[in-house]
Amino acid sequence: MKIAIVTTKVPFLYGGAEFLADSLCSKLSEYGHQSQVISYPFAWVPKEAILDSIMATKLSVIDNTDLVIALKFPAYYVKHPKKKLWLLHQFRQAYDLHNTEYGMFSDSNPSDVAIRQAIKTMDNKVLRDLEGKIFTNSKVVSDRLFKYNGIKSEVLFPPLMDASIYKVTGECGDYIFYPSRVNHSKRQWMVVEAMRYTKSAVKLVVAGKGDSPDDEKFLMELIEKYSLQDKVTYLNRFISEEEKVTLFEKALAGIYVPFDEDSYGYVTLEGFQAGKAMISCKDAGGTDVVVKDGETGYMTDSTPEAIAEAMDKMYLNKPKTIEMGLNGLPLLEKLGITWDNVIRRLTE
Amino acid sequence: MKIIVASTIVPFIYGGGTSIVDWLVLKLNEYGHQAESIKLPYSSDINQMMSQTVGLRMFHLEDYCERLIPIRMPSYQLQHPEKYLWFIHHYREVYDLWDTEFSPFPHTEKNCAIREYVMRSDDVSLREAKKIFTNSQVVSNRLTKFNALDSTVVYPPLFDISSFRCNSYGDYIYYSSRICSHKRQLLAVQAMKYTKTPVKLVITGKSERPQDAEEIYYEIKYNHLEDRVTVIDRWISDEEKAKFLSDCLAAIYIPYDEDSYGYPSLEAHHSQKAVISCKDSGGTDELIVDGYNGYLTDPTPQALASVYDEMYLDKNKTETMGRNGLKRIDELQINWDNVVRRFTE
């Protein structure tokens, strides 16, 4: 099948959504389809540009294509007889972000009210027509879609792009591994602080560049302040995929504790691919989909003390930790977090 | 400078029109600019023409780049205060081909109205451009004729010339291109019936349809040309092609009525080989000066045969013409320095 993945982009930016579009494209090719990513430029300044962008996309015609998979607002407005949605997010400023500090429309400005209303009305119509063919990448997005538009959808979790580079070696080291960009909301700082409270010989390895130099400095100062140099290693640089694989394979377990994210994060999937149990926090957002307390890892309160306790448990009962690590992959299988499942649902 | 190179695509069709976009983006980045492409789908269905055009005018790119370079039609409908076009062709079916057998559109009242719309909206949006560059004199002439617009030719160079070299001037004429009726490989083979010297012909390239290759094979067999004509009907690698070029006597490129001189002609010149083309090939006459860096002949087997023989017999002249090919590329400024300078100055 010839499959066009249509999405929206801000020129010169490449982020998670662009990566997912490219991943889906290469996976579709692996599964024998012909696939191509089509990205429409999207602008929201001035605010009228949002409506222009909707119209521009609506008037675009996709020829020579059997199936269109749309990922983002307003790419799903594109004209095609066979269209499915794998929605990564709506235009949140018109919905859940409205009247928060991240919103952009004022209820007292008639023009703002009209634009926001137009977005909602057009969304309702186009989404209603697609009902039954709408997937989202997380429960949060599905919930929002139902809450604000009354549209039902099915969650189709995005799998790891290249799982084949990981293997379960059975090695079991003495450190917990946290690979991720370093910033305040990923809360590496909380994990470093947890190391003040551990009672066992468990160690911590944090790897990743800071979003800003200050983010890195903050972590390094914490380590120094509490004299944690012997227990905590911080690799403040970009680490290669190979390096990440090796660090995961030699680890005791992994940890991923961002604040209130929509999805479970690729880090948790990487940990499972390496056969490692994962620690996460109850307020991390989507991680609870895959990190099941006592089954594939530990879900703790978001305090250094609670995290420390989970780390000690991991270290002191290694057979249980190893067993939980091995439960990860079967759980992903059960939840349909596999490309087999994603490709089947999107193309059937 | 932050630059967006914009173009239109038909999904899943790749060709010259998409490579020029990718190459320009890579080169702009290589020259220290920040460049990215935007490729928007565009259907050539005449009934969708008007609404699609309106759609293109509604995208907002003004805050995203300092310069916009639209390439394939009608991406010049996109709006931007610093619009520099590299115009490679009109929607020809409603312009120069409208009154010919090549236009698929009957002259119904509706189609005539749509044509009028396309031409008028082109007139408006083309005039928004700060500068209009084209890829050939043929295209510039059409802009003058149909839209009363002046433009400057900036010839598109090859992306990577590092593999092209000259090893020897052998005994074969080389035709490198995909095999199809429009490229007239058959004519190049038919000429071999009339040659008086032992000159040979090598054709490489993947055939578009099996019957295009079969016709050629039949011609070879019927005229017992097996010893002197070689056809390799498959995709060949850049290195294979460079090798054939490095040892050929000269190259041949004889499509019917194309806009541009064609990349095969440039590849031959970068390998210091003269190029044979035909008077009705179109843009090749902008590159090839008859008797200087190749020959422009009548499109008949006999005329081609006598050129093959002449090149074989007067090898000194053939070699000189080959070396002139490189000079000709310089004369026309077919290089990325020139392209990048024009679009960023």
Residue A41 and residue B64: Cβ atoms within 8 Å?
A: yes
pLDDT (tens digit, 9 = 90+) per residue, A30-84?
Answer: 999 999 999 999 999 999 999 999 999 999 999 999 999 999 999 999 999 999 9
CA distance B26 to chain A (A): 14
DSSP type of residue B155: P
- Counting every residue, how long is chain A? 348
Chosen from B7, B12, B39 to mutate, greatest number of chain A CBs within 10 A: B12
The reported pLDDT for the residue numbered A141 is 92
Residue A56 and residue B36: Cβ atoms within 8 Å?
A: no
Domain B172-331: which topology?
Rossmann fold (3.40.50)
If you write DSSP's letter for every residue of B254-307 in order, what string do you get? --SSBSS--HHHHHHHHTT--EEEETTSBTHHHHPPBTTTEEEE-SSHHHHHHH
CATH placement of domain B2-154: 3.40.50
| Mean pLDDT on A81-108 | 94
Beta bridge partners of B207: B179
Q: pLDDT averaged over chain B?
A: 96
CA distance B36 to B28: 9
CA distance A265 to A287: 7
CA distance B183 to chain A (A): 25
Residue B43 and residue A61: Cβ atoms within 8 Å?
A: yes
Band (B101; pLDDT cuts 50, 70, 90): confident
Q: pLDDT averaged over chain A?
A: 95
Backbone φ and ψ of A279, nearest 5°: -105, 135
Beta bridge partners of A85: A70, A134
| A37 lies within 8 A of chain B by CB | no
Helix B238-247 × helix B263-270 angle, to 10°? 60
| B48 lies within 8 A of chain A by CB | yes
Retrieve residue B216's tokens: 């050629």
Share of chain A above pLDDT 90, in %: 92
pLDDT (tens digit, 9 = 90+) per residue, A252-292?
Answer: 999 999 998 888 889 999 999 999 999 999 999 889 999 99
The reported pLDDT for the residue numbered A142 is 95
pLDDT (tens digit, 9 = 90+) per residue, A285-339?
Answer: 889 999 999 999 999 999 999 999 999 999 999 999 999 999 999 999 999 999 9
| B56 lies within 8 A of chain A by CB | yes
| B100 lies within 8 A of chain A by CB | no
Residue A39 and residue B59: Cβ atoms within 8 Å?
A: no
Residue B307 has pLDDT above 80, yes or no: yes
Backbone φ and ψ of B253, nearest 5°: -150, 105
The reported pLDDT for the residue numbered A15 is 81
Band (A126; pLDDT cuts 50, 70, 90): very high
Indicate the residue of B10, B55, B64 with minimum beta-carbon distance to A59. Answer: B55
Please list every residue in chain B whose beta carbon sits closer than 8 Å to the beta carbon of residue A41.
38, 59-61, 64
The reported pLDDT for the residue numbered B16 is 65
In order of A167, A278, A332, B259, the CA distances from A326 in angstroms are 11, 11, 11, 63
The reported pLDDT for the residue numbered A276 is 98
Residue with tokens 């599905």: A142
**List of residues 6+ apart from A188 with CB closer than 8 A:** A178, A180, A182, A206, A208, A219
pTM (2 d.p.): 0.89
CA distance B48 to chain A (A): 8
| B65 lies within 8 A of chain A by CB | yes
Q: Where are the domains of chain B?
A: 2-154, 172-331
Residue B59 and residue A60: Cβ atoms within 8 Å?
A: no
pLDDT (tens digit, 9 = 90+) per residue, A148-184?
Answer: 999 999 999 999 988 889 999 989 999 999 999 999 9
| B66 lies within 8 A of chain A by CB | no
Domain architecture of chain A: domains with CATH: 2-156 (3.40.50), 163-335 (3.40.50.2000)
CA distance B143 to B124: 13
Do A158 and A20 touch, CB atoms closer than 8 A? yes
